[in-house]
């Protein structure tokens, strides 16, 4: 399994990441679609070719074609939204918040999978990309849909671990050059 290869590539100084990677994927209480959609969306958001290359085949095998496409769509749309809304929030001029966004986001309304799954993946990608406004928005939608805090935290734990693994392995690749 590629997960084992990825874990074995993590250096000993980052042993906690190796253990956490095995835990957040191997011992997750999330249903398979939520788990592997979160893994795929976060692997894409991590921008690490190695992490994506290792985890994508298993995600593709675990997900329906619709869920596979929706997870990639969540990563794509949130790459745009996280920059846009984070910037709006960080600017000291509140007038930007009153302007029309003017960006197409149709996939959020019709993702091709259960809305809760897409929202969970969008929240996880927003955690990787550090957009507080998007995190709040997706968390509120999930909570209103009855999703418990433990499930939401599980998604951003996956995001945190995959981002850390990506940063570590990409740094090691550069240092080995």
Q: What is the pLDDT of residues 25-64, one digit of tens each?
A: 999 999 999 999 999 999 999 999 999 999 999 999 999 9
Q: Distance between CA 129 and CA 142 in Å, rounded?
A: 19
Average pLDDT, the chain: 96
Q: Which residue ranges of the chain lie beneath pLDDT 70?
A: 1
At residue 2, the pLDDT reads 84
Catalytic residues: 131, 134
At residue 1, the pLDDT reads 55
Q: Quickly list DSSP for 52-96.
A: HHHHHHHHHHHS-HHHHHHHHHHHHHHHHHHHHHHHHHHSS-GGG
% of the chain beyond a pLDDT of 70 = 99
CB 126 within 8 A of CB 82: yes
At residue 3, the pLDDT reads 87
CB 118 within 8 A of CB 74: yes
């Amino acid at each position: 399994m590629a997960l084992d290869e990825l874990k074995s590539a993590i250096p000993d100084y980052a042993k906690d990441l190796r253990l956490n990677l095995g835990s957040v994927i191997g011992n997750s209480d999330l249903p398979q679609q939520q788990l592997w959609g979160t893994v795929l969306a976060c692997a894409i958001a991590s921008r690490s070719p190695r992490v994506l290359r290792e985890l994508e085949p298993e995600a593709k095998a675990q997900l329906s074609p619709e869920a596979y496409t929706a997870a990639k769509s969540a990563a794509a749309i949130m790459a745009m939204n996280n920059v846009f809304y984070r910037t709006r929030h960080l600017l000291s001029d509140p007038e930007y918040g009153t302007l029309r966004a003017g960006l197409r986001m149709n996939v959020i309304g019709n993702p091709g999978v259960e809305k809760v799954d897409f929202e969970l993946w969008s929240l996880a990608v927003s955690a990787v990309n550090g957009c507080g406004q998007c995190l709040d928005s997706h968390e509120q939608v999930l909570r209103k849909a009855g999703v418990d805090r433990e499930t939401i935290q599980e998604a951003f734990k996956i995001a945190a671990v995959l981002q850390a693994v990506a940063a570590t392995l990409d740094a090691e690749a550069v240092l080995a050059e």
